[in-house]
Amino acid sequence: MTVSPLPAKRDERMHPVRKIALASVTATALLAPLTVASASAAPQSAPHTVTAARAIRDLPEPPPAEIVRKELGELNVATPHPMTGYSRAKFPHWVIQYGTCDTREVVLQRDGQDVVQDAQCRAVSGIWVSPYDGKILTASGQADIDHIVPLANAWRSGADEWDTALRRKFANDLIEPQLVAVSASSNRQKGDQSPDQWAPPLSSYWCTYSRAWTHVKYAYHLNITEPEKNKLNEMLDTCDA
């Protein structure tokens, strides 16, 4: 199956939730170099630095609402597929992206502030702001990497018919707005629920969340349900507020 993401203009404006993080640390800290592990094949006896600009990037910006509304209108509305045969193991995730850095560590570094990684690419310190509930996290263990469209939801939406390679791509996708660092508590609350069953407690994030959810389903040709579509339209209305 060929996945053909729709090119879209990126909106570089900072989301209000990200401003919470900026308010929680000093301007000096944000402008200072961040320390991360080297991604080269050379021995990693000591970390090296990158600029703060790299570290404050978060979820890849979904297309604007007007484009996403068109994508939503083109999605196939269908009854959820049965969970027969489902297993998270069928979506190999947290694969190595480069060097010793797996998908989880890459997202933690991308979404955090002042992230320090050791020679094995593990985030040993940093600050993360959960966009779902606004919680400020001061240890990587407090954060989960959430699949915007959960693996089980994808299975019910058509991924049960995919091969392993496509499931692996979906579960580790750093190009589409599919992975984001959030508080562990919000991720547990969400589970595998669709937007009509669960939405981020911070309604200020609904615009981004609905655009991301819809675009990921569009990019991967996944189905939606009628209640899901209705809720996504409601959430997209917040983009105009």
> pLDDT tens digits for 10-35?
333 333 333 333 333 333 332 233 33
What does the DSSP assignment read for 87-106?
-GGGS--S-EEETTEEHHHH
DSSP secondary structure code for residue 75 in this structure = S
Short-list 4, 8, 131, CA closest to 66: 8
Min mean pLDDT across 37-51, 128-142, 163-177 is at 37-51
Contact between 48 and 99 (Cβ < 8 Å):
no
Contact between 179 and 141 (Cβ < 8 Å):
no
pLDDT at 57: 52
Strand pairing category for 101-102 and 96-98: antiparallel
Give kind and range of the element (H or E) at residue 183. strand 179-183
**Model confidence at 207: pLDDT above 60:** yes
Distance, CA of 16 to CA of 1 (rounded, Å):
37
Going by pLDDT thresholds of 50, 70 and 90, the confidence category of residue 58 is: confident
Going by pLDDT thresholds of 50, 70 and 90, the confidence category of residue 241 is: confident
DSSP secondary structure code for residue 5 in this structure = P
Min mean pLDDT across 27-41, 124-138, 141-155, 176-190 is at 27-41
pLDDT at 121: 97
Enumerate the domain spans of the chain: 16-240
Task: Identify any residues that bridge with 113 across adjacent strands, giving them in sequence order.
Answer: 127
| For the chain, percent of residues with pLDDT exceeding 90 | 75
**Model confidence at 159: pLDDT above 50:** yes
